[in-house]
Structure 1
Amino acid sequence: MSVFLQCCLVFLGGGIGSMLRFILGVYIQRQVSSTWPLATWTVNIVGSLIIGMLFGYMMDIGSKPDFVRLLLITGFCGGFTTFSAFSLENVLLLQEGHYSQFFLYAFSSIGLGLLAVYIGFKLFQI
């Protein structure tokens, strides 16, 4: 597969993932008024579950087709989840003095993210 085609797959997956993250983020923020960054937290946990499921599926079928990895894992999941927003929101929580929310957000994001990847992997691994 050519580098150009690989780039196109990442671009397409990333664009779809980013748009879905934006739509879901707007929807969640309209539903909940809080200093808790629920939208980023949700997409990062869901994205972790999805990437675990995709990886488990790829392991289960015994091959790792490049187009699946590039389109869905690198592209979609990379565009859907967002570590940079997570980092910024943690700094803002600290600057605003919301220390308990900072600790809960940071540690639950990391812990649940790891757990979600593991669960997703196990769901699709036979």
Structure 2
Amino acid sequence: MDWATIICDIQSVLGGNSSTISSTPKLSVVPQPVPTQDLRVKNIRILLNYPLDLLKEWLEFQNVDRPSLLDISQINELIKTMCLAWAADKCEYPNEAESLYQNQVVDAVASGADELTAIGAWMQQLKTAKIGAV
């Protein structure tokens, strides 16, 4: 028995075409999962350099151990909390960071912008504003 015959026999058992040796097996297309809320929170936490201990503490306060167990409004509140904690020492006025967050992140994401990109731009604006104010 030669290799081509063995391969054809295997393909016929697996449901492939036994008359030709196919270089690409027939596979069903499985859609890739949308990034989970856990991954969303992780990526933003890393971008902000937000302490993992504080994130775990916030989640424990909500009686969960991971963000995907929260509803979307709670996750959005968590992200806002992390962002505003990062911005705490970046603005002269307390409501400035939150107002800019609403305009540059929340509104941008609602309009279809990438959330990480919007947060990055918001962070850059706050850094620039602080440098300009010094």
TM-score of the aligned structures, taking structure 2 as reference length: 0.28
Name the structure where helix makes up a greater proportion of residues.
1
User: Greater relative contact order: 1 or 2 (C-alpha under 8 angstroms, separation 6 or more)?
Assistant: 1
TM-score of the aligned structures, taking structure 1 as reference length: 0.30
